[in-house]
Amino acid sequence: MTELEQARAKIAELERVIEAHNAEIERLRIASLTYYIDIDGTICNTTGEDYANAQPIQANIDKANALHQAGHRVVYWTARGAGSGKDWWYLTMKQLRDWGCEFDELSFDKPVFDVVIDDRARRWGEV
Ligand SMILES: [Mg+2]
């Protein structure tokens, strides 16, 4: 095989690798889901609105991190401050970082409610 033929073969091989890589990226993109994950009572134990002393639930944080590492979009979703109007962004962001949470977005637009009935709701054992 001449040097030119070897170079062409190498280029063809690289093109196959790139094509396979792009197909894998597309497969993962299509398989990617968006998870809205509550904070208080879900990834940490919180007493009332004593957010500053919330204690992380590492097993649940690990499950959420695994979803993120699998390519899913993780949005932490909280109603902190929805009733009081107080801004909990800094404390909450610091807690998520201190607890090793991997996520794409922190959202404070969760409404205040007592019970949610939703066909898309899942418990940790179901994800
Ligand atoms: Mg909650």
Here the CATH number for the domain that contains residue 90 is 3.40.50.1000
Cα separation of 39 and 75, whole Å?
10
Residues 59 and 91 in one domain: yes
3-class state of residue 88 by DSSP: coil
Choice between 72 and 29, residue whose per-residue pLDDT is larger: 72
Rg, Å, the chain Cα set = 22
pLDDT in tens, 36-68: 999 999 999 999 999 999 999 999 999 999 999
pLDDT of amino acid 102: 98
User: Residue 31 C-alpha to ligand 1 middle, in angstroms?
Assistant: 27
User: Residue 56 C-alpha to ligand 1 middle, in angstroms?
Assistant: 13
Residues 49 and 111 in one domain: yes
List the structure tokens of 18: 């790139």
pLDDT of amino acid 65: 98
3-class state of residue 79 by DSSP: coil
State which residues form the domain around 5: 1-31
CB 51 within 8 A of CB 104: no
User: Residue 54 C-alpha to ligand 1 middle, in angstroms?
Assistant: 12
User: Residue 73 C-alpha to ligand 1 middle, in angstroms?
Assistant: 19
User: Residue 27 C-alpha to ligand 1 middle, in angstroms?
Assistant: 33
Of the chain, the end-to-end C-alpha distance in Å amounts to: 53
User: Residue 39 C-alpha to ligand 1 middle, in angstroms?
Assistant: 6
User: Residue 103 C-alpha to ligand 1 middle, in angstroms?
Assistant: 17
Residues 52 and 91 in one domain: yes
- What confidence tier does 24 reach under pLDDT thresholds 50, 70, 90? confident
Residues 3 and 23 in one domain: yes
CB 56 within 8 A of CB 46: no
Residues 71 and 12 in one domain: no
Residue 89 clears pLDDT 80, i.e. is over it = yes
pLDDT of amino acid 31: 83
Mean pLDDT of 106-118: 95
Residue 100 clears pLDDT 90, i.e. is over it = yes
Residues 3 and 20 in one domain: yes
Question: How distant is the alpha carbon of residue 113 from its chain centre?
Answer: 23
Cα separation of 6 and 101, whole Å?
48
3-class state of residue 109 by DSSP: coil
Q: What is the length of the chain? A: 127
User: Residue 105 C-alpha to ligand 1 middle, in angstroms?
Assistant: 17
Number of domains in the chain: 2
pTM of the model: 0.77
Mean pLDDT of 91-100: 98
Average pLDDT value for the chain? 94
Mean pLDDT of 92-112: 97
